Amino acid sequence: MGNMESSKSDSNKGMVETCIFCWIANDQDKETEVIKQNKELVCFRDINPAAPHHYLVIPREHIHSCLSLHKAHTGLVKRMAEMGRAVLRDQGITDMEDIRLGFHQPPYISVDHLHLHVLAPTSQISKYMSYKFIPRSNNFVTEEQLRKRLKNKTPPVQCISGS
Ligand SMILES: [Zn+2]
Ligand SMILES: [Zn+2]
């Protein structure tokens, strides 16, 4: 809060130049293969997979983390999860009970751009990395838990800036 750095260029609306996920979301990162996308969201593989299937779904818009979200974002979280499930189905996953979808909570985030972790099968998450993806822990919240939490979260008071 308080140190909102205004972006230097307006060419890519909302893009943060130092954010790798903004680069991916704006199709500027040649290394990353986008698996699925629409107007709002982009999905690609996690470069550090913790399970046989490990993808990230991000909004094109730069949102810092799950703590930046409120009530009005419930739909966004739901749509992110839907894309995650769709990608798993495309990849041949059939047991939709054995999957894990969730968000890391600050300060346990690697990139400051909201991303949903999509992992499958849950039973094959690497035991060395599993601590990062435990539901209800301090560092990880499932998409379902997050949506419940957001229901009661009102937006922060808006500053009306004169323009
Ligand atoms: Zn970003
Ligand atoms: Zn993460």
Task: Provide mean pLDDT across the span 82-90.
Answer: 98
pTM of the model: 0.88
* Ligand 1: centre distance to CA 79 (Å): 18
Give the distance (Å) from ligand 2 centre to CA of residue 110: 6
CB atoms within 10 A of CB 100: 23
Q: Look at residue 7 in the predicted model and tell me its pLDDT.
A: 42
- In this predicted model, which residue has the larger pLDDT, 157 or 118? 118
Helix axes 74-90, 143-150, angle to 10 degrees: 160
Q: Residue 136: which of 113, 97, 102 has the closest Cα?
A: 102
**Given pLDDT bands bounded at 50, 70 and 90, which one contains residue 1?**
very low
Between 157 and 110, where is the model more confident? 110
Closest ligand to C-alpha of residue 62 is 1
Give the pLDDT score at 160: 65
Active site residue 64: no
Kindly identify the ligand whose nearest atom is closest to the C-alpha of 12. Answer: 1
- Give percent of the chain above pLDDT 70: 88
Q: What's the pLDDT at 13?
A: 66
Which of 53, 62, 115, 117 does the annotation list as catalytic? 115
Q: Residue 162's pLDDT is what?
A: 53
Which candidate, 122, 48, 137, places its Cα nearest to that of 88?
Answer: 122
Cα of 140 to ligand 2 centre, how many Å?
9
Domains defined along the chain, listed by start: 36-150 (3.30.428.10)
36-40, 102-106, 159-163: range with lowest mean pLDDT: 159-163
Backbone region of residue 12 per phi and psi (left: phi > 0; alpha: psi in -120 to 50; beta: other values): beta
pLDDT of residue 159: 65
Q: Which residue has the higher pLDDT, 157 or 130?
A: 130
Mind listing the pLDDT tens digit for each residue in 16-34? 999 999 999 998 898 899 9
